[in-house]
């Protein structure tokens, strides 16, 4: 149980375009999901907390207008990187919480050219 999927697993896009990443809880409902970003050789950096039916809570320094989060159902949260630039290239990982444990998706590798 507690399986989280992400789609796509990797995406390459041109600078200035928008990219949507989906995070799904496959066998459970998640009122709270989280979005992280990981730079090479570094720890996971929490970007935002996604709450079903309400606005996401962004961490300090994360631009909410650039990283749009929508949590429209109990099994799906989406992260849209708007007007992507090369510096947005990174590994994006989502998680869903079951009681006090977070279960992570496999991650999405974004490359902006």
Partner 1 sequence: DQQVKQNSPSLSVQEGRISILNCDYTNSMFDYFLWYKKYPAEGPTFLISISSIKDKNEDGRFTVFLNKSAKHLSLHIVPSQPGDSAVYFCAASAPPNQGGKLIFGQGTELSVKP
Does 42 engage in binding with partner 1 (CB under 8 A)? yes
Closest CA to 90 of 76, 101, 79, 77: 79
The answer to whether 19 and 84 have CB atoms below 8 angstroms apart is yes
* Candidate list 6, 25, 75, 90; residue touching partner 1; CB under 8 A: 6
Provide the token pair at 56.
Answer: 């996401």
Using CB under 8 A as the binding rule, the residues of this chain from 44 to 73 that contact partner 1 are 44, 46, 49, 57
The answer to whether 84 and 13 have CB atoms below 8 angstroms apart is yes
* Candidate list 39, 106, 111, 113; residue touching partner 1; CB under 8 A: 106
Q: Which is nearer to partner 1, 16 or 58 (CB)?
A: 58
β-pair partners for 24: 5, 76
* Interface positions with partner 1 (CB under 8 A): 2, 4, 6, 32, 34, 42-44, 46, 49, 57, 91, 93, 95, 97, 100-107, 109
């Amino acid at each position: 149980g507690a399986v989280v999927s992400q789609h796509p697993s990797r995406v390459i896009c041109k600078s200035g375009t928008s990219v949507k990443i989906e995070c799904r809880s496959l066998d459970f409902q998640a009122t709270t999901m989280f979005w992280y970003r990981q730079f090479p050789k570094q720890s996971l950096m929490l970007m935002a907390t996604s709450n079903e039916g309400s606005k996401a809570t962004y961490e300090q320094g994360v631009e909410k207008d650039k990283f749009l989060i929508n949590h429209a159902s109990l099994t799906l949260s989406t992260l849209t990187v708007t007007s992507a630039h090369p510096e947005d290239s990174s590994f994006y990982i989502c998680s869903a919480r079951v009681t006090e444990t977070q279960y992570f998706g496999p991650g999405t590798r974004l490359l902006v050219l």
